[in-house]
Structure 1
Amino acid sequence: MTLDTHPSRHTAELRAAARHLGRRRFLTVTGAAAALAFAVNLPTAGVAGAAELDAARITDDPFTLGVASGDPQPGSVLLWTRLAPAPFQPDGGLPAERVTVHWELARDENFRRTVRRGTATAHPEFQHTVHVEVGRLDTDRVFYYRFRVGSWISETGRTRTAPAPGDRVLGLKLAAVSCQAYHDGYFTPYAHLAADDVDVVLHLGDYLYEYAVSAAGGSRNYTDRTLPALFNRETLTLEDYRLRYALYKSDPDLRAAHAAHPFVVTWDDHETENNYADDIPENSVPPEEFLLRRASAYRAYWEHQPLRRPQLPEGPDMQLYRRLHWGRLAQFDVLDTRQYRSNQAQGDGAKVPGPEVDDPARTMTGETQERWLLDGWQDSRALWNVVPQQVVFSQRKFDLTEPSRVSMDAWDGYRASRRRILDGAEAAGVANLMVLTGDVHVGYAFDIKDDFDDPASRTRGTEIVATSISSGRDGADKPANWDTYMTANPHLRFYNGRRGYVTVALGEELARADFKTVPYVTTPGAPVTTAASFVTEAGEPGLKPA
């Protein structure tokens, strides 16, 4: 069976148009930002594209957006920072000149036992961001890192390498987060996550939102500061997206979480535009123009995330799906369910499913990514096969009547695609499947059923849905539709509408999920509590209260 990986019949031509369309045909952008928005053959990291700036000329702290690390591998870490003395200015407060950045990696936070040091170049073509891949390190070790430019020294970050592929690993504790709308509230859950003892953080999408942010910071309702007017518009250009990342990364709680833990990131829709599907935008914008916007969004995403060189985008294309291992304990297959999906069925939204959702030609992942996932499961020797991805995988009925409405944007709108994934896991002998999900601004715990309409059917795995960091504002422990959802979906074991995050401790005998929530985000300083805890035993799928 051949799947239509890119639903538009003219996708290749549209991508070519996105690479070559003149700047006057698109959105209003000026200067270097305009050239970057449309160019394809941009300078790659390590290519000098400008004169060098004397670091002594940097008179204000350039590390205003903090530090980060990501994608831990055996013997290798990825370190990130961006130089921005004036982060709310389009140029970040630096001239279009390259800057030499010194980095240091040590076994201790006082840097008495330094194991690696070197220099990297912050290029203006990449908004003075730095991605440093450090190799030849001991496996399964914690390290500390920092950057220096001139007399300025960054805050200290903490990161780690992964265990070697064949190593026996007794445990791993991860955190899953998603959906952090700046305008909906403070990032308080990140303050608690920064202090939590986890090995890695999985960000499941909606790292930022394209919507306007008012001078008062929306629901943050600032009284001690005023945000510049340039944030009070939707992100459309490369400059817009870069500035929005600067706004988000200026948040002290997000900075603290990045400094404390390595992140593994994937996107959903709002990093580009709400509910887009491949080259199809939310609104009636010509596809070639949307692909130009997508190219800008993807470039700014890579620039501002702790991602490695293989994820560097080319125009409107970026391979974000990738695989990481944690010894013999876990394999992580990080998915991208936006870039390759078929258009949502029946006009998007909550609909009673028609025959289109079962059309085998429609796909959530695209053919290439789907085959990559299934082949990876065939080769997997891990005890736990974990799939960090974006939208709800399990069936989620919205009504007690039959037929019930479901979300056309989630896997319920791509049932044939979901069936292939479950059949592929079965064929590969995946015994401990765990799907990690974001998107919906609530916490869910699902049993993944072989037949969701038959509660007695076999349980195939577990889905843990992380609530939002701030999106949806304060929320409620028991949303108004709680009774309906819990009755209509007997495989749904937990439902909570507060903000927060979830931790998952993977062990040789069981996995434990703890749903951490805060009572409010529209004012700062909320405490954190554990709303519920569940376990699933290795070899016996199904959630039980802990």
Structure 2
Amino acid sequence: MPGLDRRAFLVTGLAAGLGAAIPRPASATASPEIPPSPMPGASAARGLCSDPFMLGVASGDPDHAGFVIWTRLAPRPLAEDGLGGMPPVVVPVEWQVYDDECCRRIVRAGVADASPEWGHSVHVEVGHLAPGREYWYRFRAGPYLSPAGRALTAPHPASFGGPLTMAFVSCAQYEHGYFTAYRRLAEDHPDLVLHLGDYQYEYARDTYVAPSGNVRDHEGPETVTLADYRRRHAQYKTDADLRAAHAAAPWLVVFDDHEVDNNWAGETPAHPDEGPAFRRRREAAFRAYYENMPLRRTSIPCGAGLRLYRRVEWGRMASFHLLDTRQYRDDQACGDGYKDCPEAADPARSILGAEQEAWLLDGFRRSRARWDVIGQQVFFARRESDAGPGTRTSQDAWDGYAASRRRVTRGWVDAGVRNSVVLTGDVHAHWASDLKLDYDDPAGPAVGSELVTTSVSTTGDGADSDPADHPFLRVNPHLRFYNNQRGYVLTRVGPEAMTADFKVVPRVSVPGAEACTRATFVVEDRVPGVRQAYLRPYSPPIAARTADVTAEDTIRQETERP
């Protein structure tokens, strides 16, 4: 706020700073009305000549007592060295948490060190807060004050709390369109946001071109080094719509492939000629990802490894099982496209790896939540592309790891999970489907539900289509809905039902489009599968084809990448 002096910001005092090399949570202790003593690096903060909060603020990974708050200092976000225009010194960053939107009543405060080793990022794990509450937070470095962000604590573990409004998104290619969906999501005032991967894309300018052309450009080369990845994350966060979505609610994040490289798998790069250099590239990408996301210290990367799979409890209402389907998977057996691949059924193959798979199955057995929500990256249900002989499916999705999918599905069935819902990104279109133990038995019962979000911007504007006329739906009767516009999914989760609005924007080639609900699906308590509750009528343009989309259109959209 203009005119806010240092003592006003620090009314509850400051805690000791963090170590420079290893990011740790800042303390939330305070001594009311005691002014701070001089801190090492304070002169560097006072010497900042322009606003260092150009990348905004964020919160994430809430529990019933607190959450992470994040910022990264970068007065010149696109500086070529990847350090955002910051000096190569540790800078103290003051933070405060409030229980009112006007930021008047301080409940926690402290100071954290922003070090050059970690891109001058700040991760504060705030604790000792009341469950099921809204809070607001902000930061200060030298004379500069950050925007305020909104965060929430989860309900008490013994309580359902009120209905949960949760949005989920995926796939935001900066060049392909404006991030209007992020802005509309923020305006929906969710309690929680899940980002399911492809937060940023690695390509050099004009390498990956949308069907109608790119509307803006990536800066710099294809991301390979730490400086490259830091710059690319910074460029994405210069988008005001993305910053608004981060400030609106706490996020739960997982990555997919483009945060590193297209279609990578474990230690295997997409391009074999990368060889041992891919491990260094992966290490750089993981470090930059942690630096730019509101993650807890349990996700601090260690070399070329980053523990991203984790479980977040929302009282008794929901247990979020967040998966990593890239870092531990076996390589795609027959390449990345749609193929009839017998090796996909090999029981030795896993998309999660043995340790993560065992962790997930144990979580199902221990769960007492009303809703077990699996947040992950790639299509879970089977999708055959034609009705001919063989099984022609995408090898980059769970179809390429059919035995692993069956083990996971059988795991929640055998554990007696009350309601299993899989949330998915990656495929740049909205889908809804029933989940089966046996997809070869169309009459067999549904044992779960899958909701898939379209992209924020990837592949450009897209087009509306008749959701009953997609060839994949005719071949796969468990698939219930399709739409090829850009947008996100907004859910309302209560004890009796989960309701999902498939939100779409008509165009991303120009900014500012309004969003509307294309369809609404409901998952009722103890009733596996999705039920359509609303469908906006489709009005085809005069020159529309008889069939608005073909199987080849879908395959091309998902696989035509460099």
TM-score band by shorter chain is 0.7 to 0.9
Equivalent residue in structure 2 for 1:221, among 209, 215, 231: 215
In 1: Cα distance, 2:259 partner to 2:42 partner: 32
Identify the residue that residue 364 of structure 1 maps to in structure 2.
Answer: 351
Whether 1:88 and 2:78 are equivalent positions in the alignment is: yes
2:328 to 340, 358, 370: 340
Q: Do residues 285 (structure 1) and 263 (structure 2) align? A: no
Aligned equivalents of 1:542, 1:120: Cα separation in 2: 46
Partner of 2:339: 351
Tell me the equivalent position of 1:470: 457
Q: 1:168 to 1:347 in 2, by over 3 A?
A: closer
Please give the alpha-carbon distance, in whole angstroms, between the structure 1 residues aligned to 2:406 and 2:119. Answer: 42
Aligned to 1:44: 22
| Equivalence for 2:411 | 424
What does residue 244 of structure 2 align with?
256
Q: Deviations over 1:442-498 (max 9, x none)?
A: 000010012112221010110000110000101112289953111011111110000
Q: Contact 1:351–1:405 (CA<8 Å) still a contact in 2?
A: yes
Q: Which of structure 1's runs of 4+ aligned residues deviate more than 6 A?
A: none
Gaps of 5+ in 1: 1-41
Task: Mark the runs of 5 or more structure 2 residues left unpaired by the alignment.
Answer: 1-19, 26-39, 534-562
* Residue aligning to 1:57: 47
Contact 2:467 2:483 (8 Å CA) reproduced: no
Matched, 1:66 2:44: no
1:383-422 mapped onto 2 (5 Å cutoff): 383-422=370-409
CA contact (8 A) 1:53 1:98 kept: no
Task: Kindly report which structure 2 residues correspond to 1:11-410, keeping only aligned pairs within 5 A, or say none.
Answer: 43-45=21-23, 53-89=43-79, 90=81, 91-213=83-205, 219=213, 221=215, 231-354=219-342, 356-410=343-397
Shift of 1:404: 4.0
Any conservation in 2 of the 1:214–1:232 contact (CA below 8 Å)?
no
Aligned to 1:485: 472
* 1:461 corresponds to 2:435: no
Match of 2:553?
Answer: none
> Would you say the 8 A contact 2:24–2:123 is kept in 1?
no
Q: Report if aligned partners of 1:46, 1:121 keep a CA contact under 8 Å in 2.
A: no
String of CA shifts for 1:288-322, please: whole Å, max 9, x gaps.
Answer: 21111000000000000000000000000011000
What TM-score, normalized to structure 1?
0.88
Give the secondary-structure state (helix, strand or coil) at the position aligned to 2:276. helix
- Contact 2:190–2:248 (Cα < 8 Å) also in 1: no
**Contact 2:61 2:251 survives alignment (8 Å):** yes
Compute the RMSD of aligned alpha carbons: 1.9
Give yes or no for contact 2:431–2:479 (8 Å, CA) kept in 1. yes
Contact 1:298 1:313 (C-alpha < 8 Å) held by counterparts? yes
Note the C-alpha offset of 1:169. Answer: 2.8
Letter in 2 for 1:511: M
Aligned-pair identity in percent equals 50
Letter in 2 for 1:164: H
3-state DSSP of counterpart to 1:54:
helix
- AA of the residue aligned to 2:168: A
Name the CA distance, whole Å, in 1 between partners of 2:328 and 2:170: 21
Aligned to 2:531: 544
Aligned partners of 1:336 and 1:389 also within 8 Å: yes
Can you list the C-alpha shifts for 1:112-170, whole angstroms capped at 9, x where unaligned?
21101111110011111100111100011000001111111111100011112111334
**What SS is found at the alignment partner of 1:285?**
helix
Q: Distance in 2 between matches of 1:144 and 1:170?
A: 19
Q: Is the 8 A contact 1:406 1:413 kept in 2?
A: yes
Q: Distance in 1 between matches of 2:468 and 2:344?
A: 25
In the superposition, relative to structure 1, how do residues 328 and 232 fare at CA in structure 2: closer, same or farther (>3 Å)?
same
The answer for the alignment partner of 1:445 in structure 2 is 432
Q: Is the 8 A contact 1:53 1:97 kept in 2?
A: no
Paired with 1:313 and 1:287, the residues of 2 have a C-alpha distance of 21
- Summarize the Cα distance change of 1:318–1:53 in structure 2 as closer, same or farther, 3 Å threshold: farther
> What's the CA shift for 1:51?
6.1
- Cα-to-partner distance string for 1:170-229 (whole Å, 9 max, x where unaligned): 4211101000000111000011011103110000000000011369x985635xxxx68x
Relative distance call for 1:532 and 1:287 in structure 2 (3 A) is same
Structure 1 match to 2:520? 533
| Counterpart amino acid of residue 69 in structure 2 | L
2:214, 2:404 → 1: CA distance? 40
Q: What secondary structure does 2:326 align onto?
A: coil
Aligned to 2:8: none
3-state SS in 1 of match to 2:407: helix
Query: Closer, same or farther in 2 for the Cα pair 1:52/1:278, shift >3 Å?
Result: farther
8 Å contact kept, 1:467–1:500: yes
**Superposition deviation, residue 287 in structure 1:** 4.0
Residue 46 of structure 1 and its aligned partner are, at CA, apart by: 5.4
C-alpha distance 214-252 of structure 1, shift in aligned 2 (>3 A): farther
Q: State the Cα deviation string for residues 405-424 of structure 1 (Å, max 9, x = none).
A: 21000000100100110111
Q: Is the 8 A contact 2:24 2:124 kept in 1?
A: no
What CA distance in whole angstroms lies between the structure 2 residues aligned with 1:46 and 1:330?
28
Instruction: Between the two structures, name the one with larger relative contact order (CA 8 Å, sep ≥ 6).
Output: 1
CA distance in 2, matches of 1:496, 1:480: 6
| Residue 6 of structure 1: aligned partner | none
Matched residues in 2 for 1:545 and 1:328: separation?
26
Q: Work out whether residues 420 and 449 of structure 2, in 8 Å CA contact, stay in contact via their aligned partners in 1.
A: yes
Q: CA deviation at 1:434?
A: 0.2
Partner residue of 1:29? Answer: none
Post-superposition Cα deviations, 1:351-400, rounded to whole Å, max 9, x if no partner, equal 0131x111111101000000000001111000110000000000011113
Aligned mates of 1:214, 1:248 — CA distance in 2: 16
Q: Distance in 1 between matches of 2:215 and 2:175?
A: 9
Q: Secondary structure of the equivalent of 2:313?
A: strand
AA in 2 matched with 1:346 = C
Q: Shift of residue 510 of structure 1? A: 1.1
SS of the residue corresponding to residue 183 of structure 1 reads: coil
What residue in structure 2 maps to residue 35 of structure 1?
Answer: none
Deviations 1:337-360 (A, max 9, x none): 000000101122110131x11111
Give the whole-Å Cα distance in 1 for the aligned partners of 2:369 and 2:248. Answer: 27
**Offset from partner CA, 1:39-82 (integer Å, 9 cap, x none):** xxx921259xx966522211111100000000111111100001
Provide the C-alpha distance between the structure 1 equivalents of 2:160 and 2:67, rounded to a whole number of angstroms: 21
Cα offset, 1:250, TM superposition: 0.5
The structure-2 alpha-carbon separation of the partners of 1:398 and 1:79, relative to structure 1 and needing over 3 Å to count, comes to same
Q: Deviations over 1:313-333 (max 9, x none)?
A: 000001100001111111010
Q: Distance between the aligned counterparts of 1:352 and 1:72, measured in 2? A: 42
